[in-house]
Structure 1
Amino acid sequence: MKFGILGPVEVISGGQPLALGGLVQRAALGYLLLHCNKVVATSALVRAVWGHDAPPTARKMVQNAVSRLRRTLAEGDGDGQVELVTCSPGYLLRVDPDAVDVHRFRTLAERGRAELSQGRAERAAATLGEALAQWRGPALSDLTETGIDWPQTALLENERLAAFEDSAEAGLALGRHFEIVRELEAMTEAEPARERLCGQLMLALYRCHRQREALAAYQRTRMALVETFGLDPGRELQSLEMKILQHDESLAVPGRPHAAPAPAPVLTPAPAPAPVLAPAPVLAPVPAPAPVAAAVGPRSRPDLFSSPTGGVSPHARTAARARGEELAMAHRWRGADPLWASLW
């Protein structure tokens, strides 16, 4: 028979889950499994189920729930290895610790942590992976959905996160940053104030050549710490940020050469292209200036008053005649009209 509280409360017998009844019965079993092989007072069970608002019949309801659980476990346990007995001032659940998932998880997590501290990263990764595989969801998830909130539930979640961080450390030591970076991103989104988790994500992102996102992860955790606790990140996380900015060689995967960032290419100006010279224009031959005609002198200029054959031309005789008539008319008018004479 196997018992589970790392997820919904369950009991597996012969590979099949047993019916556990209502809320009081399931809550009583979950609380007894958290304290298996220890005596649990009835008053503690009453507070676990109802808190400080327990009804007057709470103790009787717990007794009835325990009685039904005893019958259910007896039917499912063929080997007689599980026993729920009345033991003043309450009840005792006797069970093999290895049959309860929370105890298997704790045993494997401690073993994996020891292997990691011994430098056996490969073995530690396998052991811690087996430990985390015990979880089927949030601890006691069917009870927390009804409003039940036990301090042990928060402690179990912290143990799970610590085991996950140990597993991530083993993965980083083995150079598996590409494999675990998505899980780290999801976990840090849910738990932004955990500095160790943030540091592992930053390192994984840096090794995946995502330096800008690694620095952004630091800023998110810093803001979460300031807003939640009013504190800045610790020196270790601040130092990691500085190393990422400086591409420190210590951030390389152990046993592998550090891949320094490629230097920025030095850009040299391209030589100016040679000017393209237009072909020299083909000049058409300048025609020789036309010979300037000889100056026409008085003798060479044609005379309008001479005929080509010599003597006076008819035009000249007509013009002379017209001129003589004008002069004669002027002499006649000069004597007749003094004003005209003055104008003439």
Structure 2
Amino acid sequence: MKITSIEIKQYMIPLEPPFHASWDPTPRKKFGTTLVYVHTDEGITGIGSGDLMTGFAGHEHLFIGQDPFAIERHAQIIDNIDFHYGRCWPLDLALWDLMGKKTGMPVYKLLGGRSDRITAYASTGELVSPEVRAERAEAFVEQGFKAMKIRFHHKDPRQDIKVVEAVRRAVGDKLDIMVDANQGWKMPWDVERTWDVKMAYQVAKELEQLGVVWLEEPLPSHDFTGMAALRQKVGIRIAGGEMNREWHDFREMYRHGSLDVYQPDVALTGGITQIRKIADMVQMGGHWFTPHSWSNGIGFLANLHLSCGLSTCPYFEFPFDPPTWTPERRDFVQQEKVMIDRDGCLVLSDKPGLGFELDPEMLEKYEIKNAYIWGTD
């Protein structure tokens, strides 16, 4: 089997009502998905998504005519492109989808096949009042969720802590609670001061009393020593790594003892090929590996396959904050929208590859007509 062409298409849906992401200054009124198609001389196509593929133009010749199973070679080239031009890791996901389709195996089995299911935590994205968040948490319990994550981003974290208190009062011990402090990285317009170790410590001690499972990204993602110092001072787990782009970041986090929970996202950095090595490293040290999964439905599935394939962490992130963030929006290019089962688990099928089918009607309706096709056919 040889790669004959690589095709990139973009799709955009309107969001009405808008999604008020906690990390954005204005509501999001649209949501885009970039699909990467890797075509072969055997008529099998692998599909990946999760990032914009900025920087790929001009490098297609490095893959055309190659065996798609030479995944270590391809990952090295994508890493080189990442260094010079930008993130193109959805290509790695498309190659894994392709390998699964060729072998007739789901990707999670190719990666180790630890389990076909994992407990989901409802990962919320909006800043809402304590009362509204408590109501939504009660709805999660009714839907079968066993855990949820609350986003912080108020200027005064005491306002955020009030939200956690309200949720704990409303659901008791029916939900495990995680907290994302959103201090690890900044959007381009964000010039506010991030927390220091003392602020993170004060918040962590409050969250300990509320039985929170982990505090995510309480410090900038490069502050390996600060996170290690914080981790030694508090009983709550410290999580992070979702936007660290280099494998050696995770080596240094591991060496410093920065984190209890490692969260790299295969769609945004490293692909499945690189991130599985990080997962092995941190799990051998007794830490949790559970990736970030806020890209789109296909990026979400790729992270889910990796977690089911080899992760020993009991939780997986399920981006979900209805009515403004739902599977219908996240998975809009897919025929089947992914949802938990009655036990609060995400369950993978035995369909080959990443296990999804595209929705031709949605593709036709929402395509941005500027596709790029590189190859011989």
Q: What's the TM-score once normalised by structure 2's chain length? A: 0.24
Higher RCO (C-alpha 8 Å, min separation 6):
2
Structure with the largest fraction of helix: 1
Structure with the largest fraction of strand: 2
